[in-house]
């Protein structure tokens, strides 16, 4: 079975089950977004994962119990006696606690401290819900496209599915930062590929005018995206549990490389649309490109503000 036949088979299946998939994606976005302000504790400080998979404190939140105890640059090596390892399988901060005991490395010293959990001030709620709200807006656009697209309108179906998948991945990517189980699997490894697919949407209207060089560029980007996704998975699933990372061997932080790649692909979409609009003769496809360019700017702008 060739690629065209497989694509048609998938479109037929997806079109038949689009209501189920739309509802399932909505529940995923809503569930993980609400989890960020319900079961995920507000532990009172901002953290990041270092290239070597260490949980590092960026800064304590103002007026929180962590203020005056934790400092910027502190490395949390254990929570409640359990070693901290970046993992997609379990919560980084186990839920349901009113306080946590931290083992912290600071300037060569190993410190123990107990910090109570606080409530959710408005600015914390706003920050945690922002990605989810943007995701729901993208989900709405993708859902409307899918609901009104006919089975034979493959370009519209493609736009709808890619938009829907990006919406889910964005919400789960935010959830994975806070260590919600399984969110990482549905976000980080696939985001580079989805970003390339988003860039490829610029070629949907009037596809017959696309040069071979542009098609080759997209195929190359897909190859890089799959490689990046595989390396991200390798780092988190294999190297981090071993206490090491690809960063130590290659000198490249895979997560940062993925973010740069995704940003470039998102920017490539409006660039390609603008180039095609400029070089294409006046036609219905040219008008479609103009509308898609406006929609793309509307979609990318909230992402840039996150």
pLDDT tens-digit profile of 13-37?
777 888 999 999 999 999 999 988 8
Please give the pLDDT value at position 299: 60
pLDDT band at 176 (very low <50, low <70, confident <90, very high): confident
Dist CA 234 CA 197 (whole Å): 23
For residue 249, the tally of other CB atoms under 10 A from its CB is: 9
Which tokens in the block code for residue 189?
């490894």
pLDDT band at 110 (very low <50, low <70, confident <90, very high): very high
Is residue 263 helix, strand or coil? helix
Average pLDDT over all residues of the chain: 83
Q: Does residue 92 register a pLDDT over 60?
A: yes
Spatial CA neighbour of 172 closest among 9, 13, 7, 24: 24
Burial string for 76-97 (b: 16+ CB within 10 Å, else e) reads: bebbeeeebbbbbeebbbeeee
pLDDT band at 208 (very low <50, low <70, confident <90, very high): low
Q: Does residue 210 register a pLDDT over 80?
A: no
- What whole-number percentage of the chain has pLDDT above 90? 21
Dist CA 281 CA 274 (whole Å): 13
Nearest-5° Cα angle at 131, 92 to 48: 35
pLDDT mean over 192-216: 77
SS3 content of the chain, % helix, strand, coil (to 5): 60, 10, 30
Choose between 221 and 130: higher pLDDT.
221
DSSP readout, 267-285? HHHHHHHHHHHHHSPSSHH
Dist CA 152 CA 11 (whole Å): 9
pLDDT tens-digit profile of 242-291?
878 888 888 888 888 998 999 899 888 888 878 877 777 766 666 667 66
Please give the pLDDT value at position 159: 81
Dist CA 157 CA 147 (whole Å): 9
Please give the pLDDT value at position 63: 83
pLDDT mean over 165-178: 87
Dist CA 94 CA 40 (whole Å): 8
| Residue 104, strand partner residues | 76, 111
Q: Does residue 89 register a pLDDT over 70?
A: yes
User: Tokens 């919406």 map to which residue?
Assistant: 167
Dist CA 64 CA 42 (whole Å): 10
pLDDT tens-digit profile of 43-88?
888 888 888 888 899 999 888 888 889 999 999 998 888 888 777 7
Please give the pLDDT value at position 282: 66
Please give the pLDDT value at position 106: 92
Domains belonging to the chain, first-starting first, are 3-35+123-305 (no CATH), 45-119 (2.30.42.10)
């Amino acid at each position: 079975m060739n690629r065209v036949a497989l694509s048609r088979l998938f479109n037929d299946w997806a079109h038949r089950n689009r209501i189920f998939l739309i509802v399932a994606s909505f529940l995923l976005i809503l569930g993980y977004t609400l989890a960020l302000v319900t079961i995920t504790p507000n532990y009172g400080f901002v953290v990041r994962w270092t290239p070597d998979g260490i949980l590092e404190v960026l800064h304590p939140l103002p007026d929180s119990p962590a203020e005056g105890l934790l400092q910027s640059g502190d490395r949390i090596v254990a929570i409640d006696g359990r070693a901290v390892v970046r993992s997609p399988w379990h919560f980084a901060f186990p839920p349901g606690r009113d306080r946590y005991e931290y083992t912290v490395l600071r300037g060569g010293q190993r410190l123990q401290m107990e910090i109570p959990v606080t409530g959710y001030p408005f600015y914390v709620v706003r920050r945690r819900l922002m990605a989810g709200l943007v995701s729901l807006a993208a989900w709405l656009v993708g859902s409307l496209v899918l609901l009104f697209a006919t089975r034979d309108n493959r370009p519209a179906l493609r736009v709808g599915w890619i938009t829907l998948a990006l919406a889910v991945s964005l919400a789960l990517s935010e959830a994975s930062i806070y260590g919600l189980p399984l969110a990482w699997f549905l976000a980080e490894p696939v985001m580079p590929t989805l970003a390339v697919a988003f860039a490829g949407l610029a070629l949907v209207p009037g596809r017959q005018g696309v040069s071979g060089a542009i098609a080759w560029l997209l195929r190359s980007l897909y190859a890089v995206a799959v490689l990046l996704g595989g390396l991200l998975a390798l780092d988190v699933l294999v190297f981090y549990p071993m206490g090491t990372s690809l960063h130590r061997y290659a000198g490249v932080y895979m997560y940062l490389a993925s973010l740069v790649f995704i940003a470039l692909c998102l920017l490539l979409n409006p660039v390609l649309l603008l180039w095609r609009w400029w070089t294409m003769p006046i036609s219905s496809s040219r008008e479609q490109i103009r509308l898609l360019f406006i929609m793309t700017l509307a979609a990318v702008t909230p992402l840039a503000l996150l």
